[in-house]
Structure 1
Amino acid sequence: MPRGKYTNHKGRNRKFTSPEELEEQRKQEELKQKWRKEHGGDDESSEEESADNKSGSGSSDESDSDEDHPTKAKGVSGLIEVENPNRVVKKNKKLANLNTSLGEGEKPQLSRREREEIERARAAAAYQKAHAEGKTEQARADLARLAIIRQQREEAAKKREADKKAKDEGPKKR
């Protein structure tokens, strides 16, 4: 026992079933199920079997094709025909119809945000193209700035060359 005021009681009473006990329980369940099938003690299965026997020889084909109606109706739904507008009946689509409906000229419906995002991308691409061609005001300003800088660099290069020539000619004259 730990000394002190606070003790933890978790896990003290845990008991694990051995694999042999689990196997024995499984065998017992199988025997019970077998006995119920032989003696007709299972209520749900006996009702389903009797319903199948009453319907006739082609009952398995009819029950497979008619999956909308459950075998055992709950509550009043067996007595009253009710159409629930919220119930979505899953309809199987044929692959041929699915491919033709998607492939033909219908564009997928886009949300407002998606449309706006596409428009922004198109506008940005158009602006970049116009900017590269020099048609925007910002492009014109950039080109003017570049022309001024080129002119200044050319003047500086000419001045350096003139200074260099002057230095080279100075010692030659002496």
Structure 2
Amino acid sequence: MSQKKKGTQGLIEIENPNLVKQKNVKARDADAEKPTELSRREREELEKQRAHERYMKLQEQGKTEQAKKDLERLALIRQQRLDAAKKREEEKAAKEARKIEARK
């Protein structure tokens, strides 16, 4: 004679994971070549590292906003230094010319 289930027990069949006996896997039976699953933290860390590497690669190529700003600033500084060097050379040449004029 089958027992009649009370209430919602007959409607809902839930497998309780705590009731299932855990299967132990021995080391020799484990598949060593099977890739292990990464934890969420490990996966996020790898994604973060890859994103940083991609950004640095783009940075080196000058394709990021920051790299473009840096290159513009660098070009401006180079131009300023070139102008300053020309000015110094002109002043030095003028000073030498004044020395020569003063000797005469």
Does the alignment reach a TM-score above 0.5?
Answer: yes
AA matched with 2:76 = I
Q: How many residues align?
A: 84
- Tell me how far apart the structure 1 counterparts of residues 46 and 73 of structure 2 sit (CA, whole Å): 33
- Tell me how far apart the structure 1 counterparts of residues 74 and 84 of structure 2 sit (CA, whole Å): 15
In structure 2, what is the equivalent of residue 159 of structure 1? 87
RMSD: 2.1
Q: Cα offset for 1:146?
A: 0.3
In structure 1, what is the equivalent of residue 61 of structure 2? 133
Taking every aligned residue pair, what percent have the same amino acid on both sides? 46
Normalising to structure 1: TM-score of the pair?
A: 0.43
In structure 1, what is the equivalent of residue 43 of structure 2? 115
In structure 1, what is the equivalent of residue 52 of structure 2? 124
- Tell me how far apart the structure 1 counterparts of residues 42 and 26 of structure 2 sit (CA, whole Å): 30
> SS of the counterpart of 1:135?
coil
Structure 1: give runs of 5+ residues left out of the alignment.
Answer: 1-84
With over 3 angstroms needed to count, the CA separation of the structure-2 counterparts of 1:155 and 1:87, relative to structure 1, is: same
- Tell me how far apart the structure 2 counterparts of residues 107 and 90 of structure 1 sit (CA, whole Å): 19
1:148 aligns with 2:76: yes
With over 3 angstroms needed to count, the CA separation of the structure-2 counterparts of 1:92 and 1:136, relative to structure 1, is: closer
Q: Cα offset for 1:141?
A: 0.6
Q: Cα offset for 1:90?
A: 6.0
Structure 2: give runs of 5+ residues left out of the alignment.
Answer: 1-18
With over 3 angstroms needed to count, the CA separation of the structure-2 counterparts of 1:86 and 1:143, relative to structure 1, is: same
With over 3 angstroms needed to count, the CA separation of the structure-2 counterparts of 1:164 and 1:140, relative to structure 1, is: same
> SS of the counterpart of 1:107?
coil
- Tell me how far apart the structure 1 counterparts of residues 47 and 82 of structure 2 sit (CA, whole Å): 44
Q: Which has the greater radius of gyration?
A: 1
With over 3 angstroms needed to count, the CA separation of the structure-2 counterparts of 1:128 and 1:91, relative to structure 1, is: closer
AA matched with 1:173 = E
Runs of 4+ in 1 over 2 A off after TM superposition: 85-94
